[in-house]
Structure 1
């Protein structure tokens, strides 16, 4: 099966926006992992005890962090070749073009979901009735505020991906080299 090459011409702003979307989850994920690890995050002892639940509670916090970061990393596929051509590790599809409609539809759903997710998590973090130290409140705000950027950044990259993948070839004269005589 011949390898299909990815389209070039991804502008710098799109690469930066995709990277930004992929990184918006890192602060909140680290905050949750810190709770599981027992690192003080500025919560009052009662709050920390409620959130630091051994077993399933810890599993949930770690799982939420990993799953949300994996979804965030998918934004990079909109600016990299593996978002246009199925990678080698995908059985039956490897080397084939990723359907534009499929990738765009999933990215649009992701944009809507991450916008809602970001707003809900930030609203919850900013309005939670938690006992925190003064620096703990600042830390929670700083950890969750970047989630507000996830949806808009992903949306911008999604629009660019769709336009780039559906752009038609330029019309007009094409300069061909003259055949050489044998």
Structure 2
């Protein structure tokens, strides 16, 4: 039994463009390498650190933090896919009380745009591995971390591009609905 109030009928937005679908899926992939690096360290692999410099995550709390950080980053990146999938337009029916309701486009666009800005600003200074040498890492480790973290530079811009696409598709649908 579903106890939701039906939302007002509105014209659905056109399908997302192929580039937007690819960009949305790419966001999950650009986050993956850095998460895998952190997971490797949790599992006890030095992952570029020197034998002396590597301090394994020995406490449950430190392991949980690194695993949580990796999973949260991937989940946040996964939300970008909602900008090109039906669950970004209508809340899935299996969600209690609100399932089946249309999502207001600005309720999606505003947090996605803010997230894109924050991610772009955050990762704009990604070259920390050569700008700020870490004495406990090997030179190969610096290169490894650089390669694994460099894709994060794309996370914010990809999210911004997909957000703009979502906004334009829904703005066009609203314009068509208001003229009908």
TM-score of the pair, normalised by structure 2: 0.84
Would the alpha carbon gap of residues 79 and 130 (structure 1) be closer, same or farther in structure 2, given more than 3 Å must change? farther
Unaligned runs of 5+ in 1: 173-182
Q: Identify which of 105, 108, 111 aligns with 2:110.
A: 105
SS of residue paired to 2:21:
helix
Q: Report the Cα offset of residue 114 of structure 1.
A: 1.4
TM-score of the pair, normalised by structure 1: 0.83
Q: Establish whether residue 56 from structure 1 lines up as the match of residue 61 from structure 2.
A: yes
CA–CA distance in structure 1, aligned partners of residues 128 and 61 of structure 2: 22
SS of residue paired to 1:158:
helix
Which structure has more RCO (C-alpha within 8 Å, separation ≥ 6)? Answer: 2
Q: Establish whether residue 169 from structure 1 lines up as the match of residue 158 from structure 2.
A: no
Would the alpha carbon gap of residues 119 and 130 (structure 1) be closer, same or farther in structure 2, given more than 3 Å must change? farther
Aligned residue number for residue 10 of structure 1:
16
* Matched residue count: 171
Give the CA RMSD over aligned residues: 2.5
Aligned residue number for residue 179 of structure 1:
none
Map 1:99-178 onto structure 2 (within 5 A): 99-120=104-125, 122-126=126-130, 127-167=132-172, 168-169=175-176
Q: Report the Cα offset of residue 115 of structure 1.
A: 1.3
Would the alpha carbon gap of residues 95 and 17 (structure 1) be closer, same or farther in structure 2, given more than 3 Å must change? same
Map 1:21-40 onto structure 2 (within 5 A): 21-40=27-46
Which structure is larger by alpha-carbon Rg, 1 or 2?
1
Q: Report the Cα offset of residue 78 of structure 1.
A: 0.3
Would the alpha carbon gap of residues 128 and 86 (structure 1) be closer, same or farther in structure 2, given more than 3 Å must change? farther
CA–CA distance in structure 1, aligned partners of residues 51 and 118 of structure 2: 33
